[in-house]
Amino acid sequence: MVEPLKRSGKIERKGPVVLVIMDGVGFGKYQDGDAVKSAMTQNLDKFFETSPWTKLKAHGLAVGLPSDADMGNSEVGHNAMGCGRVFAQGAKLVENAIESKEMFRGETWKKLVENVKKNNSTLHFIGLLSDGNVHSHIDNLKAMVVEAKAEGVKRVRVHALLDGRDVGEMSALDYFDPFDEFLKDLSKDGDFDAKIASGGGRMVITMDRYNANWDMVRKGWETHVLGEGRQFDSAHDAITTLRKETGAIDQDLPPFVIAESGNPVGTINDGDSVILFNFRGDRALEITKAFEAEKLEEFDRKRHPKVEYAGMMEYDGDLHVPRQFLVSPPAIDRTMAEYLCKTGVTQFSISETQKFGHVTYFFNGNRTGKFDEKLEEYVEIPSDKVPFEERPWMKCAEITDRVISEIEKGEWKFIKLNYPNGDMVGHTGVFEAVVCSMEALDLQLGRLKSAIDKAGGILIITADHGNADDMYEHLKDGSVSRKANGDPKAKTSHSLNPVPCIIYDPCYSGEYSKTLREGLGISSIAATCISLLGYVPPEDYDKSVVTFN
């Protein structure tokens, strides 16, 4: 039950509290490869020199993941910041459901298995083939294939997307080759037939998000469902050949189809069952719509097979997408935005397309839509449809333009924004571009500071996880791992590093200690924002970094 927040009487500012989420910007462990330290960030440096700040945990147990070996990500990070507590997240929930066999006792799993047994048809798996544990985990897939065989399924096909983003940029064969052998071993008795059927880079096919580029989904549909595209004898041949021809890293490899005698081995047909084994929702919604929608306007499917389709999880709890899923997502309730609406606090949220859903849907506990139409406004700045290393500044200036305009209007007590630069450009692995992205972001921090000075507000600067701070692969001794030509090996995944929490308060008059609490996680951001807005946070929220005098 959400009740209005009580006034604390501890602090009051004329201007708004503005939460700035520098997506993917942490404190680097190594000097080499830290694009944040390498960038000229005069404004950010000044904040660190003159304002109270602390480090926050943004990975592993601090954001509800299985262990501290698991890197944080934008989804769980925004969940934690928005709800002020730590919930067990997708990776942990799926791991538990498989280990306990609860998933296989569920009605959805039983239905999909019985469907293919009844029709003597194929069970298909689509998803990211790696152990990144951000969108998926290869061990989950293996467990499902083994269970399918044990339950009498005769034919399995895997449509495997190359990662190179949450794992090493050229690590695909470390997953594909052993997995191919795993399937062959399961199939050697002749009563079970499991194969990789298609694939392609995750940033080229299937895994678009926020309706940014439906052409990716079209390519994925044609590859996985229709079996259209360039054919290869094996995934190994496809990956090695396409790497040589394109020079692309894994996430950017073109799609491929595995064929025998010119015939695709795994088209998806009427009567089949399909499981999207990714557990994270943002890049699962569009391909799910392609399977479930009776009419699809975004592209011509050419053929729409009648299948039993399920996602690993429910990707949108409000819209109930997909209609069938294997594991229930965390039930995140009583978010900060809901409390603020109940209290009558006006709120403005903004980012560009790539992170718009994070400051809205994920921040609000995986909830679509507003809590109060009269008190909230959401603004999405359309992202460029070009490789991020070609436009590393992204839309940070346009986001800032709008935020400054809204600060000057004086209508909002709480404003939150996400700058995607450090994360989206960080994933490209192009060090120079990431440095540029950080310098572009820094310019905007300076502009926000000036606006906050004029308005008499408070600026809270933080991040959801690290990325730009760790752009090179490192060996155990801390040295940079290098390619044969001597160049550093790029690291395209998130880091395990802590992130900043800076409080810039130009009207500070001693209301709270400038020594911020240490050892907290990013779930403390919600209570911090509520406290600085002048209210008492809910009792079960994780502590604010601020201690009032």
Give residue-wise pLDDT tens across range 335-379: 999 999 999 999 999 999 999 999 999 999 988 899 999 999 999
Is 12 part of a structural domain of the chain?
A: no
Is 230 part of a structural domain of the chain?
A: yes
Q: Is the pLDDT of residue 319 over 80?
A: no
CATH number, residue 442: 3.40.720.10
Q: Is the pLDDT of residue 329 over 90?
A: no
Instruction: Check whether residue 119 and residue 268 sit in a common domain.
Output: yes
Distance, in Å, from the CA atom of 521 to the CA atom of 502, rounded to the nearest integer, reads 14
Residue-wise pLDDT tens digits, 470-484: 999 998 889 999 989
Final residue in a domain of this structure, among 309, 327, 345 = 327
Instruction: Check whether residue 345 and residue 448 sit in a common domain.
Output: yes
Total domain count, the chain: 2
Instruction: Check whether residue 323 and residue 342 sit in a common domain.
Output: no
Sign of torsion, CA 494 92 499 81?
Answer: positive
pLDDT given at position 123: 98
Which is nearest to 109 in space by CA: 329, 289, 304, 328? Answer: 328
Instruction: Check whether residue 76 and residue 102 sit in a common domain.
Output: no
Final residue in a domain of this structure, among 272, 302, 327 = 327
Is 539 part of a structural domain of the chain?
A: no
Confidence category of residue 3, pLDDT binned at 50, 70, 90: very high
Residues 6+ apart with CB under 8 A from 424: 23, 24, 354, 355, 388, 394
Q: Angle formed by the axes of helices 285-292 and 214-224, to 10°?
A: 60
Is 542 part of a structural domain of the chain?
A: no
Instruction: Check whether residue 207 and residue 154 sit in a common domain.
Output: yes
Residue-wise pLDDT tens digits, 174-187: 999 999 999 999 99
Contact of 524 with 544, CB cutoff 8 Å: yes
Instruction: Check whether residue 139 and residue 276 sit in a common domain.
Output: yes
Confidence category of residue 71, pLDDT binned at 50, 70, 90: confident
pLDDT given at position 374: 98
Distance, in Å, from the CA atom of 479 to the CA atom of 475, rounded to the nearest integer, reads 5
Name the burial class of residue 90, with classes exposed (0-12), middle (13-18) and buried (19+) by CB atoms within 10 angstroms of its CB: buried
Q: Which residues pair with 432 in a beta bridge?
A: none
Final residue in a domain of this structure, among 275, 298, 327 = 327
Two structure tokens written together for 50: 């003159």
Is 6 part of a structural domain of the chain?
A: no
The verdict on whether 328 is a catalytic residue reads no
Q: Angle formed by the axes of helices 396-409 and 431-455, to 10°?
A: 10
Instruction: Check whether residue 23 and residue 147 sit in a common domain.
Output: no
Per-residue DSSP letter, 254: P
Q: Is the pLDDT of residue 390 over 70?
A: yes
pTM for this structure?
0.78
Q: Is the pLDDT of residue 543 over 90?
A: yes
Which is nearest to 365 in space by CA: 86, 94, 93, 166? Answer: 86
Q: Is the pLDDT of residue 154 over 70?
A: yes
Query: How far, in whole angstroms, is CA 206 from its chain's centroid?
Result: 15
Q: Are strands 458-462 and 499-504 parallel, antiparallel or unpaired?
A: antiparallel
pLDDT given at position 317: 65
Instruction: Check whether residue 72 and residue 134 sit in a common domain.
Output: no
Distance, in Å, from the CA atom of 388 to the CA atom of 152, rounded to the nearest integer, reads 46
Distances in Å between the alpha carbon of 63 and those of 76, 304, 349, 421, 542?
Answer: 6, 39, 22, 22, 12
Instruction: Check whether residue 416 and residue 450 sit in a common domain.
Output: yes
Tokens 């155990």 map to which residue? 476
What average pLDDT does this structure show over 32-58?
Answer: 98
Is 380 part of a structural domain of the chain?
A: yes
Tokens 């008492």 map to which residue? 536
Is 314 part of a structural domain of the chain?
A: yes
Instruction: Check whether residue 74 and residue 106 sit in a common domain.
Output: no
Range of the domain at 479: 17-88+331-532
Q: Which of 226-240, 323-337, 371-385 has the lowest mean pLDDT?
A: 323-337
Per-residue DSSP letter, 165: S
Instruction: Check whether residue 182 and residue 49 sit in a common domain.
Output: no
Q: Is the pLDDT of residue 413 over 80?
A: yes
Q: What is the mean pLDDT of the chain?
A: 96
304, amino acid identity:
H
Instruction: Check whether residue 503 and residue 403 sit in a common domain.
Output: yes
Other C-beta atoms closer than 10 Å to the C-beta of 106 total 17
pLDDT given at position 316: 74
CATH number, residue 302: 3.40.1450.10
pLDDT given at position 511: 97
Confidence category of residue 297, pLDDT binned at 50, 70, 90: very high
Q: Is the pLDDT of residue 318 over 70?
A: no
Helix (H) or strand (E) holding 140: helix 138-150
Considering the candidates 38, 51, 67, 74, report the single residue annotated as catalytic.
74
pLDDT given at position 482: 92
Is 446 part of a structural domain of the chain?
A: yes
Name the burial class of residue 470, with classes exposed (0-12), middle (13-18) and buried (19+) by CB atoms within 10 angstroms of its CB: buried
